[in-house]
Each structure stands twice: as structure tokens, then as C-alpha cells.
Amino acid sequence: MRTRITELLGIRYPIIQGGMQWVGRAELASAVSNAGGLGILTALTQPSPDALADEIARCRAMTKHPFGVNLTILPTTKRPPYDAYLDAVIEGGVTILETAGNNPAELVAKAKGAGLTIIHKCTSVRHALSAERRGVDAISIDGFECAGHPGEDDVGGLVLFPAAARAVKIPLIASGGIADGRGMAAALALGCDGINMGTRFCATQEAPIHPAIKQALVGASERDTQLIFRTLRNTGRVWKNAVADEVVAIERRPGGCDYADIQPLVAGTRGRATLESGAVDDGLVWAGQAVGLIDDVPTCAELIERIVAECRSALQRGARAFAAND
Ligand SMILES: Cc1cc2nc3c(=O)[nH]c(=O)nc-3n(C[C@H](O)[C@H](O)[C@H](O)COP(=O)(O)O)c2cc1C
């Protein structure tokens, strides 16, 4: 395949595994890159910039292909040393940076100066245009279906992708709600140059997640996600389990709630423990609506080859609608 994204990133297929807290480790990122996509390590999964440097070295030992690092700038009480994490990326010889969560301005100048290719992930056309003006190289745009933080505009990919495609000039990646080749074909048809997936890559052999969580994702339908933190205007989409329901119940109390009321339920360490132990109702499991499209736990190579084959036949099926009338 050849699109502006395969050209920009030097990869075989325009399929990216987005940054995922606790999941974006060397095992998964290298498997995706070895399969022809772009794997991405998640910087803040590592406790320190030094640990990120080690993880980058580990990933490099597992793949000869390009991989990236995600740096997520989110509102937090204890600000991580973003600059030092970026230094680890640059000194580790990684050439692709995925920024997300907030305006990437503070990172762009230094990253560009070091020759990095920057993919900025955001959830609205206005934020995409602002990042483009600041000099990022590609936009990943997350529709409302996505896992993680879909923003507060609630615009699904079917509208958001073409709206972004007609406004943004740099290469564009469709993200959120995509788990198969039909979704990929749709993204290309809507004007995007590639796709980004999170939830689908969680249900692969190489994802460093307990098998019970992967099976829970396989068993879930498209109706089984929950929107948390809506009342705090920091919406997050997660798999609908007991903890997610409890968070929403507290948020809906008369008078609302403060972050402190739900903090013990949503603590990152608790989510991490759940992913490791497989105790499916103990902590938050981030997942998007595409969870309803997942029926198995293939290797990343099987998944990517299948998606590419499905994408090709979906596009051919669409083209036949015209051929029949010619
Ligand atoms: C378990 C999990 C953790 C995630 N953590 C992050 C993160 O730390 N930073 C980030 O930018 N996006 C994060 N995301 C969002 C993904 O990178 C991606 O944008 C999203 O999953 C796309 O939607 P999809 O799940 O429908 O494919 C996470 C997604 C999942 C499933």
C-alpha cells in the first residue's frame, strides 16, 4: 500500500497502534511494527525518562522497523517531566513522536529541532488546524467512538473524518471506532491517509494484558462502553464494568461530584492492576465502541494482514457498484 502516511512514516501499511497507557510497551509496539504497521510506546507507562530510554532500547532489539513514542499531556495534579521524557525519545534515536491530550506547542519546537516527525492526535478540526499551524507533520483525529478521551464535542468519525480531511492539508489519520478492514476502507474513502487503532490492538496475542481482559473485550458489544468524567469536562470512554458504573453513579448524584470523590476508583495504578490480574471488575479498562467488532485474539501480524485484505475487498465491492452500471 502507498499513501501519504506510509510515505511519511516509512511503513508498509498505513495502520498505527496509538499510544496506550500500560499497554503500549515494547512487546506490542514491536509486533505491530514487525507486521508492517507503526507500533507506538507510551512514554508515561514508564515511571521515569530513564526507564523510557530502557524501553526504547528493548523495543529496538525486537524490531528493525520504525516505531514511535506517545507523549500524552493531560491535566494532572503531579506534572510529569515531559521535557526529560522527550530527551529520552530524541537520545534513543526514535524518529516519530505522537503527541496527544493537549496543545503540543511546548514540545513541537524541540522535537522538530531534533528532526522528529510529529503526529498530533486530537478530537476536533479546530485543534487539528491549530496543531498544523504549529508545524506538526500529521494529524490523527479521534472520533467520539474512541477509547480514551473523545473530547466534549461528541462528533462521530463519519462526520469528523471528512470534516478534517477537507480542512487539514497535512496527512490525516482516522482514529476511533475502527477494528476491521471495512472501517479502514471507510476511512480511506472519507479522505484519510491511514488509520489508528487502540481497542482492537488490546485484543491481540502480543498485548501485555491478562487473557481474561482480552476475553472480556471479545465478549463485549458496541453498547458496552461507558462515558466517565463527563461532569468534569474531561470525558473518558471505558469498558462498562462495575467500577465504570460506580463512577457514573457518583457523578450523577444531586450536586455532582469532585474529582476527589472518584479518585480512589479511577486511580491509574488500580487500572494497571486490573490489566495485569485479569480481575475484570476491579479497575477501569479503557475501550472504545469498536469493542463490539472484536471476535478473536489474533497475533498482530494476522490482524494487520486480515485488515488489509478486508479493506481491499471492501473497496473493490464499492467500486463494483459502478462497474455494474458501466
Ligand atoms: C487501554 C487504552 C489506553 C489508552 N491510553 C492512551 C494514552 O495514554 N494516550 C493517548 O494519547 N491515547 C490513549 N488511548 C487512545 C488510543 O491511542 C486511540 O486514540 C484510541 O484507542 C482509538 O480509538 P479505538 O480504541 O476505537 O481504536 C488509549 C486507548 C486504550 C484502549
Q: Is the dihedral of CA 26, 27, 30, 36 positive or negative?
A: negative
- pLDDT at residue number 74: 83
Cross-strand bridge partners of residue 255: none
Average pLDDT in the chain: 97
37 close to 217: Cβ distance less than 8 angstroms: no
Cα of 261 vs centre of ligand 1, distance in Å, is 25
- Ligand 1 contact via 202 beta carbon (within 6 Å): yes
How much is the average pLDDT of 209-229? 98
According to the model, what pLDDT value does residue 71 have?
97
Q: pLDDT tens digit string along 271-310?
A: 999 999 999 999 999 999 999 999 999 999 999 999 999 9
pLDDT, greater one: 106 or 175 = 175
Q: How far is the CA of 257 from the centre of ligand 1 (A)?
A: 25
Angle at alpha carbon of residue 164, lines to 13 and 132, rounded to 5°: 85
- When mean pLDDT is compared across 105-114, 197-206, 217-226, the lowest value belongs to 105-114
What's the pLDDT tens digit per position in 106-159? 899 999 999 999 999 999 999 999 999 999 999 999 999 999 999 999 999 999
pLDDT at 31: 99
Give the helix ranges, DSSP H, for 177-210. 181-189, 199-202
* Residues 21 and 236: beta-carbon distance below 8 Å: no
Residues near 70 by Cβ (< 8 Å), separated by ≥ 6? 18, 19, 20, 24, 40, 41, 42, 43, 97, 98, 99, 100
The pLDDT confidence band at residue 184, using thresholds 50, 70 and 90, is very high
Q: What is the pLDDT of residue 325?
A: 64
Question: Grid coordinates in use for 67?
Answer: 516505531
Share of the chain above pLDDT 70, in %: 99
31 Cβ below 6 A of ligand 1: no
Best mutation site among 74, 240, 286, 307 for ligand 1 pocket (most ligand atoms within 8 Å of CB): 286
What would the grid cell of residue 184 be? Answer: 479502514
Instruction: Give how far the C-alpha of residue 156 lies from the chain's centroid of Cα atoms, to the nearest Å.
Output: 15
The answer to whether the Cα torsion of 53, 287, 150, 306 is positive or negative is positive
**Which residues, at least 6 apart from 59, have a Cβ–Cβ distance to it below 8 Å?**
26, 29, 30, 39, 41, 67
Ligand 1 pocket residue status of 142, Cβ below 6 Å: yes
Over residues 81-108, the pLDDT tens digits come to 999 999 999 999 999 999 999 888 889 9
In the reported structure, the alpha carbon of residue 203 is separated from the centroid of ligand 1 by a whole-number distance in angstroms of 13
CA atoms of 222 and 203, how far apart (whole Å) = 15
Report how far ligand 1's centroid is from the alpha carbon of 326 (Å): 43
Whole-model pTM: value is 0.97
Q: What is the pLDDT of residues 25-73, one digit of tens each?
A: 999 999 999 999 999 999 999 999 999 999 999 999 999 999 999 999 9
* Dihedral sign of CA atoms 35, 215, 236, 259 in order: negative
Ligand 1 atom closest to Cα of residue 100 = 11
Please identify which residue in the block is written with the cell numbers 502480543: 206
